[in-house]
Amino acid sequence: MGARDCRRPLFTEFRAFDQAPLHGKSVTEVNALEVSKEHSAVTVFDLYRTPAAGRAAIHFERRERTTDGELTVSWSADSTHLDSSF
């Protein structure tokens, strides 16, 4: 058996109950983003990811609600040249 690529999370392709595609994200992340988009009371959404068990979470992305009501990415680790690879 070959070595597993440790930078790639082990998530399913689809959410079980509705078969929604996850696009490489966890079910928890997809659910949290959906709820945040649907409820205007959420004005800031910070996404943290843990690259491996026992390691600290990395601030990966921030979304903020704009004046038109959309929740959009206002900051990402990729834009600050941090190593956010998994």
List the chain domain ranges: 27-80
* Confidence at 8, pLDDT banded by 50, 70, 90: low
Distance from C-alpha of 69 to C-alpha of 77, rounded to nearest angstrom: 23
- Over residues 60-76, mean pLDDT: 95
Looking at residue 47, its pLDDT comes to 95
Half-sphere exposure of 54 (CA within 13 A, CB side): 0
In this model, does residue 3 exceed pLDDT 90? no
Averaged pLDDT, 51-79 = 92
Q: How far apart are CA 22 and CA 58, in angstroms?
A: 20
